[in-house]
């Protein structure tokens, strides 16, 4: 427990420092590193890292997909037109499959492509927030991470005191139905409190849609649970306890960001349509 607490405090300090630099190139480098790291952990768990050239292309795309936003933001190289780079990436993987199809089955290239697109889009959703929502971008990231992580904490405490019925005993033995229900309600309340403090004391240039934030906060719980359980299935099938050990006592990047993988795109969409916050 002591190791977990110390590790969590260090991670929190690093996260705050990164958010302070959310409007600089440092932020993009950190998100790009997390994107590549999460992909590596998944590929390693699934036994795909042996395809070094293909994985190298995936890691390159994962980093580029985030860093291109830095290029656009700071108008580096006059603004690089990269609308087709995703097609180029998928094409390269498929070309390598056509060249080496005798060495592996069809599931390999399509798994590499699918995971790379999916994980990259999740992290890119976070990377886009400071640029696309300049008046509240940092808060959008905070609320997104809170939506993913506070639900898990709420579910843990609710499950500890009231949990009786297992939700998915094989996939995630500690999760209970009561815990998920409690975590869902707690998540809505906590996001409402966070939004209230921000709107009342920190940024009065925005209108907070509190009822929607409460409802969407609760929805973040099952949305995040989808990512959590999906990542857990992979671990069970790969017969590993954690994806890594980058955070002692907590595991790897994917162990901490599994729920963020589904919550981040969901919250990005809500911010984009003005469902949660609008600028006065």
pLDDT (tens digit per residue) in 39-71: 999 999 999 999 999 999 999 999 999 998 887
Tell me the average pLDDT across 20-43. Answer: 93
How many whole angstroms separate alpha carbon 227 and alpha carbon 156?
Answer: 17
Closest-CA residue to 145 (of 251, 243, 34)? 34
3-state secondary structure 147-204: HHHHHHHHHHHHHHHHCCCEEECCCEEEEEHHHHHHHHHHHHHHHHHHHHHHHHHHCC
So what's the pLDDT on residue 122?
A: 96
pLDDT exceeds 60 at position 5: no
Distances (CA, A) of 128 to 125, 229, 268, 280: 5, 26, 8, 21
How many whole angstroms separate alpha carbon 57 and alpha carbon 99?
Answer: 15
Backbone angles phi, psi at 115, to 5 degrees: -65, -40
So what's the pLDDT on residue 103?
A: 87
- Total H helices, total E strands in the chain: 10, 4
Q: Where are the domains of the chain?
A: 18-132, 133-280
Backbone angles phi, psi at 50, to 5 degrees: -70, -20
pLDDT (tens digit per residue) in 155-209: 777 777 777 788 888 888 888 888 889 889 999 999 999 999 999 999 999 999 9
How many whole angstroms separate alpha carbon 269 and alpha carbon 280?
Answer: 20
Report residue 74's pLDDT band, with 50, 70 and 90 as the boundaries: low
Average pLDDT of every residue of the chain: 88
């Amino acid at each position: 427990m002591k190791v977990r607490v110390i590790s969590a405090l260090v991670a929190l300090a690093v996260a705050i420092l990164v958010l302070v630099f959310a409007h600089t190139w440092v932020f993009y480098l950190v998100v790009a590193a997390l994107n590549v790291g999460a992909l590596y952990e998944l590929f390693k768990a699934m036994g795909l890292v042996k395809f070094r050239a293909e994985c190298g292309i995936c890691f390159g795309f994962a980093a580029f997909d985030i860093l291109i936003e830095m290029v656009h933001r700071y108008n580096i190289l006059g603004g690089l037109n990269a609308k087709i780079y995703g097609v180029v990436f998928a094409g390269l993987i498929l070309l390598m499959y056509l060249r080496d199809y005798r060495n592996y089955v069809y599931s390999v290239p399509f798994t590499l492509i699918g995971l790379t697109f999916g994980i990259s889009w999740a992290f890119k959703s976070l990377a886009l927030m400071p640029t696309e929502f300049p008046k509240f971008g940092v808060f959008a990231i905070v609320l997104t991470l809170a939506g993913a992580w506070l639900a898990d904490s709420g579910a843990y405490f609710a499950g500890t005191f009231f949990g009786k019925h297992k939700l998915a005993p094989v996939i995630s033995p500690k999760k209970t139905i009561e815990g998920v229900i409690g975590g869902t309600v707690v998540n809505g309340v906590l996001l409402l409190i966070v939004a209230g403090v921000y709107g009342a004391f920190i940024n009065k240039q925005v209108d907070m849609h509190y009822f929607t934030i409460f409802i969407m906060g609760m929805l973040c719980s099952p949305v995040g649970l989808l990512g959590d359980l999906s990542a857990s299935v992979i671990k069970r099938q790969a017969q590993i306890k954690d994806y890594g050990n980058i955070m002692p006592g907590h595991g790897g990047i994917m162990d901490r960001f599994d729920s963020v993988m589904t919550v981040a795109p969901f919250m990005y969409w809500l911010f984009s349509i003005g469902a949660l916050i609008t600028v006065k």
